[in-house]
A and B are shown apart, each in its own frame.
Chain A
Amino acid sequence: AAGVIQSPRHLIKEKRETATLKCYPIPRHDTVYWYQQGPGQDPQFLISFYEKMQSDKGSIPDRFSAQQFSDYHSELNMSSLELGDSALYFCASSFRDRPTAFGPGTRLTVL
């Protein structure tokens, strides 16, 4: 079965640079979520989209923004990167009340 696809899988950036992470949800899933997981921490919800509209917001820094496009893929844009932004970033998708499915994650390293 198709799963959530994330790209890139690994990304290395310098401080103050910008990064863009991409997520391709499972076909026909109408909701996309972004999570951040720092070293030794549990996944923290950042933001979600339902039918291309922002539906919920968690602890997303103002330096981060996200959107969902007409083909339902989503992008997380991170600017003015800081060392503390080094983390795993997971995208997830869901449809109605079916279980949320997570992607494999993007490991971002900020040097």
Chain B
Amino acid sequence: DAKTTQPTSMDCAEGRAANLPCNHSTISGNEYVYWYRQIHSQGPQYIIHGLKNNETNEMASLIITEDRKSSTLILPHATLRDTAVYYCIVRGADTGRRALTFGSGTRLQVQP
């Protein structure tokens, strides 16, 4: 699975959009981009995933660049409860049973 690079930490004001970038320049054609988050000491929580099209669900939006070498997770209206570590993970479509590999993630602090 391709390696990902994320900023170590980010701040965001409550009520504003949080845009979390992820670089995955070695991604291959059949690899998906997954986003998970971990609120302090809780189990990682699935947010969203995508292959090449932009995706949106009730939690967030995922924007993937046309060359697929980077993506951005957007939390449209961040709240204090969104303070967490956000992990961007790349995994192949044909390795659905392979374990997710967590990198360092981005620690998002939502400020009141």
Say whether chain B's binding surface is mostly helix, strand, loop, or mixed: loop
Residues of B within 8 A of A (CB): 34, 38, 41-46, 49, 85, 87, 93, 96-105
Contact of B46 among A33, A100, A105 (CB under 8 A): A100
Please tell me if A48 contacts chain B, counting CB pairs below 8 Å.
yes
- In the complex, the answer to whether A99 meets B49 with C-beta atoms within 8 Å is yes
A 20-76 contacts with B by CB, 8 A: 31, 33, 35, 42-45, 48, 50, 55-56, 58
Q: How many A-B residue pairs have CB under 8 A?
A: 55
Taking A55-B97, A90-B43, A105-B41 as known contacts, 4 extra A-B pairs with beta carbons closer than 8 A to each other, sorted by chain A number, are A43-B102, A92-B44, A97-B96, A99-B49
How far does the Cβ of A105 sit from chain B's closest Cβ, in whole Å? 5
Q: Which are the 8 A-B pairs with shortest beta-carbon distances?
A: A102-B43, A97-B96, A45-B99, A99-B46, A42-B102, A102-B44, A43-B102, A31-B97
- In the complex, the answer to whether A33 meets B99 with C-beta atoms within 8 Å is yes
